[in-house]
Amino acid sequence: MRHIELRDLDDDDLDAVFEMMRDRDAIAQAAFTASDPDDREAFDSWVARNRANPDTEMLVVTEDGGFAGTAGAFTIDGDREVTYWIARHARGRGVATAALRLLVSHEATRPLFARVASHNAASIAVLEKLGFTEVSRMTSFAPGVGRDVEERVYTLVPAVE
């Protein structure tokens, strides 16, 4: 296993994040994405809003010092949620699991929540491996696939070791 770390998002990361979030295969898996992933102005506005929000933490996942994705935490409707997006070149090798493990050990709030499209088996496996349990399902419009998609909500109550 390579060395995985989380660090604060820097301006120098924005091009890599934007390109990663335009990956059509990843968009189809994530499903709940920007309505136009090619709109750089909308992306920059989204980043600026999140950076200005004291309840939002935007982090970069690194693998051996290189960009491997993003992870973050935010509060919505009073619930603390975690999120992650792993770049194509870093998938399938445990990077998401290691990054999420670091994120939840850093986040003191419990319960933590995470949302995932029901067809995203890899992300569901990562959440369950770290002790998240499914608490509900709903159907929501998913811009990444252009239709309604079942969304699963997971929670983590105890701390991850």
Band (2; pLDDT cuts 50, 70, 90): confident
Tell me, what's the pLDDT at 83? 97
CA distance 47 to 64: 25
Average pLDDT, the chain: 94
What pLDDT is attached to residue 22?
95
What are φ and ψ of residue 87, in 5° steps?
-65, 150
Mean pLDDT of 48-69: 97
Q: Does residue 57 fall inside a structural domain?
A: yes
Of 14-18, 20-24, 28-32, 135-139, where does mean pLDDT reach its minimum?
Answer: 28-32
Render pLDDT for 87-127 as a digit per residue (tens, 0 to 9): 999 999 999 999 999 999 999 899 999 999 999 999 999 99
pTM, full prediction: 0.92
- pLDDT at position 157 is 82
112 located within any domain: yes
Q: How many structural domains is the chain composed of? A: 1
pLDDT at residue 31 greater than cutoff 60: yes
- The pLDDT of residue 158: 63
Percent of the chain with pLDDT over 70: 97
pLDDT score of 1: 52
H/E stretch holding 64: none
Let me know if residue 161 belongs to a domain.
no
Residue 67 lies in a domain: yes
| Structural domain for 9, as ranges | 4-156
- Between CA 18 and CA 103 the distance in angstroms is 21
pLDDT score at 103? 97
Query: Could you give the CA distance from residue 101 to residue 79 in angstroms, rounded to a whole number?
Result: 19
Q: In this structure, are residues 60 and 9 in contact, taking their beta carbons and an 8 Å threshold?
A: yes
Which CATH number goes with the domain that contains 129? 3.40.630.30
